[in-house]
Amino acid sequence: MNVQLGEIVAACQAAGVPLEGEVPADWPVTGVAAVQSCGPGDLVFADKAALLAYVLERKPAVVIAARNLRDALTSLAPVTLALFTSNVALAHAIIKQRYAARNYSAADWEGPVHPSAVVHPTASIDPSATVEPRVVIGRNTRIGPRARIMSGAVIEHDVVIGSDTVVHPNAVVGYGCMLGNEVVIGAGSIIGSEGFGFAQDAQRRSHPIPQTGRVVIGDRVRVGANNTIDRATYAETRIGSGTKFDNLCHVAHNVDIGEDCLLTAMFCIAGSSQVGNRVIASGQTGIIDHVKVCDDVVLVHRAGVVKDIDQPGAHASLPTQPLDDYLRNTAAARKNAELRKRVAELEKALAAASR
């Protein structure tokens, strides 16, 4: 990396994250680094005062800092240039995506379609896409511009994969599924796995109900490593644009998840449930089947959703309750032993007084 700071500032401005401060005409940046390990020439980020000591000690070329740190950084010039923003994390995301993200081409596989890949003759692969070693691509599959299918991935028949989408090693995209643009499927994840649908007879033997629907994933979705998203029984399991899954999440058949959700590790949702837009779920959140969660809900403290949530806000515990109620109830529960002891003492005193 070797770019002028003015180019970086212009890129942030175009993305809606203006950087405040004077930008010299010639101010090179040679890397993006963590503030704790940076060196001369690097661009770093500081969103809290505790990081300023590293900036002063290591003297990077540029620090992008929170506005409330402006006074503390006035003494940096002329070695380090300070720029300020109201959203350091977003500036970090935009700059690192553009200038310091993973270089997939560094793997340097022969291609664009590696000779060891098995590609059905009816598959359509854009010339700008990359297919790495030992990939399997099925009949009538369509892979869009600049997509990358990494080593060992299996793309079954009749799949549609959009532009700039990356399928990581050993992932599987099942037949008939559709992935939008700029989707990331993590290593070992399975899109379009068989939904869990069975009927039982009088002897309690389980008979499978074939799951013949598909999974449809919108644009800019990130599916972490070792996720499973089950295909629908008949229609579609849907994941809305912009939603991000952590590792080790499970989505059952016929689920509909909205846009721009953040769903962290071990999130699990049962069949035919619906999740609105901008829902956040902390680790080990569970949602049973056939319930609805409205927009702008935050699920915390291993939330277990067993009925509809129709009010935005934070909800916690099993069964879920508004976070303020949960905190009050938890505080009260801590006093149960003391209260039981006091009640027992009162009962003894009443019994003695009645003799």
Annotated catalytic residue, options 253, 290, 301, 315? 253
Q: Which two tokens stand for residue 104?
A: 């997939």
Strands 190-193 and 172-173 turn out to be parallel
Catalytic residue flag (residue 92): no
Q: In 3-state terms, what secondary structure has residue 339? A: helix
- Quick one: CA torsion of 286, 288, 292, 297, rounded to 10 degrees? -10
Picking from 312, 246, 324, 321, the residue whose alpha carbon sits closest to that of residue 279 is: 312
The strands making up 214-217's β-sheet, listed across from edge to edge, are 124-125, 142-143, 160-161, 178-179, 214-217, 236-239, 256-257, 274-275, 292-293
The number of angstroms, rounded, from the C-alpha of 209 to the middle of its chain's C-alpha atoms is: 31
Q: Token pair 């319930």 is at which residue?
A: 291
Spatial separation of the C-alpha atoms in residues 320 and 300, rounded to whole Å: 9
Phi and psi angles of residue 262, each rounded to the nearest 5 degrees, phi first: -125, 110
Contact in structure between 18 and 8 (CB atoms under 8 Å): no
Q: Is 238 exposed, middle or buried (0-12, 13-18, 19+ CB in 10 A)?
A: buried
Return the DSSP state at 280. E
321 strand-pairing partners = 316
Instruction: Write out the catalytic residue numbers.
Output: 253
